[in-house]
Structure 1
């Protein structure tokens, strides 16, 4: 995604820096600490209509086929991952 937005060349060369999240942007996925409520996935599905590309949302708020994923991608240079419970990891 960063490459498509034109700043993939800013990515760190060192793999440890990648694991330390020393790159521009953040990807927030539902069900993880920053967005813990999987029910929010229904709101996103209503807006994006994933069934157009063959992806279905189950009653348990899981995406099918199994390899499907969704996320909120923020490309601002100061975006960083956080826990909804407060504080940064």
Structure 2
């Protein structure tokens, strides 16, 4: 039973949920923005998969700047513990 007939206290089988209403509103606003910006609707396009087949080794560890920064942070932490 709802409290004095308030819409948000109705059972789920009686009416839609607030989450469903929010989702419909968000979808509608997103569609409006896409139309205003001239972007395609992602639902209309076929599903595609982007495959990246070329990998290259970029290195390991920190750059010299990152090493310097990490050393200073470590030094500051040790200094603050004393």
Q: TM-score range by the shorter chain?
A: under 0.3
Instruction: State which structure, 1 or 2, has the greater radius of gyration over its C-alpha atoms.
Output: 2
**Greater relative contact order (Cα 8 A, min sep 6): structure 1 or 2?**
1
TM-score, scaled to structure 2: 0.18
TM-score, scaled to structure 1: 0.17
